[in-house]
Structure 1
Amino acid sequence: MSPAVFSHGDLRLYLLALLAESPQHGYGVIQALTDRTGGTYTPSAGTIYPRLAKLEEEGLVTKTADGRTTIYAITDAGRAELASREGDLQGIEAGLSDSVRLIANEVRQSVQEAMKSLRADLAAAAHEERTGSASSYREASARADDRIAGREELRRADASINAFRAQVRADLRTHVARGGALPAKVVSELDAALDNAAHAVTAALAALRP
């Protein structure tokens, strides 16, 4: 799944911030977002262009033709909105840094674990081939395949958990940065929901054990 780097509405404000730095064509905006997130988030044209068009409708952005390229630039109204939401932007940038760092660390760790596991599986298969029968080798290879598949599913689970964490954290930080209240009841409900999810996963894994 794609990493949840921006919570709802934050990408719109961040696009204004990028255009406030310099006018950009659509691909330049996409590339800037990729660069700012260390390659962990590359939005599609179908994500960016409709948002740029909406900003233009609101009078926050203008577009001009430069040959066959369309250049987008922020307007005075866009700069005014950006200035009025400086606190929100700071919250977005802080959440973005946290999300990117988390995703990068998890990807690096997953790759390292996958490579370590693969080397161990290949070594075990090679040993079986040297010392055992052809059937033993096939069984070892099958076990290695199962372990590799398990590691891949674990990586997917890690990515899902981290994307959820980044999304919720960004939403909470943005809400508080905008001056919103965060009642203890909401946090308690979050704790309860996470606890229930953890118990459900534990029960499902227990049911799979021989």
Structure 2
Amino acid sequence: MFGAGDLRFVILQLISEKPSHGYEIIKSIQERLGGMYAPSPGVVYPMLTMLEEMGHATVVSEGARKLYTITEEGSKALAENKAVVEALFARMDRTRTEQANDRAPQIERAVENFRMALRMKAGPLTTEQIHAITDIIDAAAKQIERV
């Protein structure tokens, strides 16, 4: 979804609008993309740590959660890359609009649940498990085609 370095500017822009926790940033990106994509915590949290190390964000611990806020240095980085940031958010807006015209959010949620179920079955599967999963997927696809 994002090119090299793009997510850094998206996160900086979001925390410039409102100090946020990592989870809130993930949800905000997902909402801005119409539910089509949400960055994983394994991408967002290291990026937040990097922004903090670069001096572009500060963090305040609130129990187990961390609240990220943009710094003056981070604001300068945003200003210096204003055209890039605007282009990124325009692309995100287009994606959200296109997505809104494609499928209902309930369907997107169901598809994400399906993907999560498959990810949770990761690891070595028996031949029987593989056949059962493919039978379920094929049956669901046939039902959807008939709707």
The bucket for the TM-score relative to the shorter chain is: 0.5 to 0.7
Q: Does 1:60 align with 2:56?
A: yes
**Matches of 2:54 and 2:79, distance apart in 1:** 16
User: 1:17-57 CA distances to partner (integer Å, 9 max, x unpaired)?
Assistant: 00101211111111211222222222221121011011111
Q: 2:92 aligns with which of 83, 90, 96?
A: 96
- Quote the residue 2:20 is aligned against: 24
Q: 1:7 aligns with which of 3, 8, 19?
A: 3
Q: Is the 8 A contact 1:40 1:104 kept in 2?
A: no
Q: 2:142 aligns with which of 148, 153, 173?
A: 148
**Matches of 1:96 and 1:35, distance apart in 2:** 10
Using the size of structure 2 for normalisation, the TM-score is: 0.66
Q: Is the 8 A contact 1:25 1:70 kept in 2?
A: yes
**Matches of 1:17 and 1:40, distance apart in 2:** 20
Q: CA deviation at 1:150?
A: 9.3
Q: Is the 8 A contact 1:62 1:72 kept in 2?
A: yes
Q: How many equivalent residue pairs?
A: 113
Q: Is the 8 A contact 2:34 2:99 kept in 1?
A: no
**Matches of 2:98 and 2:5, distance apart in 1:** 21
Q: CA deviation at 1:149?
A: 7.7
What letter is aligned with 2:80?
A: S
Q: Is the 8 A contact 1:62 1:75 kept in 2?
A: yes
**Matches of 1:150 and 1:68, distance apart in 2:** 43
- Quote the residue 1:106 is aligned against: 102
Q: Is the 8 A contact 1:30 1:44 kept in 2?
A: yes
Asked which structure has the greater CA Rg, the reply is: 1
User: 1:125-147 CA distances to partner (integer Å, 9 max, x unpaired)?
Assistant: xxxxxxxxxxxxxxxxxxxx6x8
Q: Is the 8 A contact 2:22 2:44 kept in 1?
A: yes
What letter is aligned with 2:37?
A: Y
Name stretches of at least 5 consecutive residues in structure 1 with no aligned partner: 112-144, 152-210
Give 1:29-48 correspondences, 5 Å limit.
29-48=25-44
**Matches of 1:99 and 1:68, distance apart in 2:** 33
What letter is aligned with 1:77?
A: E
Q: Is the 8 A contact 2:32 2:93 kept in 1?
A: no
- Quote the residue 2:71 is aligned against: 75
Q: Is the 8 A contact 2:20 2:69 kept in 1?
A: yes
Using the size of structure 1 for normalisation, the TM-score is: 0.48
Say what the alpha-carbon RMSD is for the aligned residues: 2.5
Q: Which has the higher helix share?
A: 1
Q: Displaced runs of 4+ in structure 1, greater than 4 A?
A: none
**Matches of 1:24 and 1:73, distance apart in 2:** 7
Quick one: percent identity of the two aligned structures? 34
Name stretches of at least 5 consecutive residues in structure 2 with no aligned partner: 108-138
